[in-house]
Amino acid sequence: MSILRGRIRKARCYIDGHLLDSAFVLLLIQNTKTGGDRLTLAPMAQVDDGKMDLGVIYHIGRLKVLKMFNQLKSEGSHVWNPNVEFYRFSELKIETDNPTPINIDGENVGFTPIDIEVLPSVVSMFH
């Protein structure tokens, strides 16, 4: 797992047209509060708000990464960590100098760059 090897990446994230140019350990894109093994990745995410949430974990050491995984398990207390920021977006473009793997639900699906656009109310759900 590259995050535990301390692999730092640099990315340019265009969040609704605003540039975030930074080094990071991990970028998380969520539409729901939880993911993975019931980890609270984006505690403020709302499925029905027409937005997605980008979580940025900035350059931190391996021990801090391990501590942060414990925070993810404890109802998302990582939101108070000064090395983590969240952004809500409708459109997101991520560019990197070198191709960086993109993982969706545990599957490698390609490499950067990636463009994401939220299309609210496109899918109708019935019960």
Q: Domain span at residue 61?
A: 9-117
Is residue 97 included in any domain, yes or no?
yes
Quote the CA–CA distance of 23 and 25 in Å, as a whole number. 7
Is residue 125 included in any domain, yes or no?
no
pLDDT above 70 for 75: no
- Which of helix, strand or coil describes residue 79? helix
Q: Where residue 28 sits, what CATH number does that domain have?
A: 2.60.200.40
Number of folded domains that form the chain: 1
98 closest CA partner among 7, 13, 10, 1? 10
pLDDT above 90 for 124: no
Burial class (CB in 10 A: 0-12, 13-18, 19+), 105: exposed
Is residue 3 included in any domain, yes or no?
no
Predicted confidence at residue 88, as pLDDT, reads: 92
Is residue 29 included in any domain, yes or no?
yes
Quote the CA–CA distance of 16 and 95 in Å, as a whole number. 14
Is residue 73 included in any domain, yes or no?
yes
Q: Is the peptide bond before 120 cis (omega within 30 degrees of 0)?
A: no
Per-residue pLDDT reduced to its tens digit, 82-99: 788 889 999 999 999 989
Quote the CA–CA distance of 53 and 59 in Å, as a whole number. 19
Is residue 122 included in any domain, yes or no?
no
Is residue 83 included in any domain, yes or no?
yes
Quote the CA–CA distance of 65 and 111 in Å, as a whole number. 23
Is residue 68 included in any domain, yes or no?
yes
